[in-house]
Amino acid sequence: MRSLKPAEGLQILGRLLVSDEVSIGVVPLNLRQWGAFHQVASASARFSALRSAVSQETPSEGDHAFETKLRALPAAKRAGLIADHLRAQVAQVLRIAESQVELDTPLTSLGLDSLMGLELRNRVESMFGIKVPATLLWTYPTLLALSGQLAKSIVGAEPEDATQEAPTSPPRDEGPKADEMLADEDALFALLDESIARAESKVRR
């Protein structure tokens, strides 16, 4: 979710003022990321309309513009451009100053945990219009390594800078992964649907 821009808020307010709805909430929501974050909930009958909308989402024009700009650069400079875009996002997720996000410092050393990693992955997907695996941030744990890998994912070319290669050693154990931590939440959504269905069945009887 993100904040509403002033123009968006005014436009939506105008629509709501002529609506018959008594109570309504408006939230700018990236449905594809929400579906990936809450897979069980998004697959439930209660959210079937949202699930349908998820499959229809397409990358924005800004995604293609960035890819065009990236392709125009020499391969050795692509990771640097991506790192410049990522540094602010990393700082926001970690709640630290951008100056503290060094290219070669492991993000886990700066406080990145599994849930923050999932948030950062969603921001990466939204920013660059690509899908990335949940393990990406743990396989490429520094901003330098991550940017180099993203350059390959977006453009499909190998960066020339050998320092951008992925680390050969496996990431250290950071505790429960985000998918495991969110399993209980998804299960609660499934139980909620079942409970409501049973209650509605009793009422009909």
pLDDT digits (tens), the chain, 205 positions: 778 889 999 999 999 999 888 888 888 877 776 776 676 777 788 777 777 766 655 544 445 677 778 888 888 888 888 998 899 889 988 989 989 999 999 999 999 988 888 888 888 887 787 888 878 888 999 999 999 999 888 887 443 444 444 445 445 555 455 455 455 566 666 777 777 777 777 767 6
179: its two tokens = 């998918």
Q: What Cα–Cα distance (Å) separates residue 49 from each residue in 16, 152, 174, 189?
A: 21, 35, 36, 16
Q: What pLDDT was estimated at residue 185?
A: 60
- DSSP character at residue 133: -
Separation CA 91–CA 197 (nearest Å): 43
**115 neighbors 180 (Cβ within 8 angstroms):** no
| The pLDDT of residue 146 | 92
Are 93 and 77 in contact by the 8 Å Cβ rule? The answer is no
pLDDT for residue 31: 75
Scanning the chain, the segments in alpha helix (DSSP H) are 6-17, 31-37, 39-43, 48-54, 61-72, 75-94, 114-128, 136-139, 143-155, 178-204
pTM above the 0.85 mark?
Answer: no
C-alpha 177 chain-centroid distance: 15
Q: State the pLDDT at residue 36.
A: 66
pLDDT of residue 159: 38
Q: Structural domains in the chain?
A: 1-57 (no CATH), 61-173 (1.10.1200.10)
Calpha distance 77→161 (Å, rounded): 9
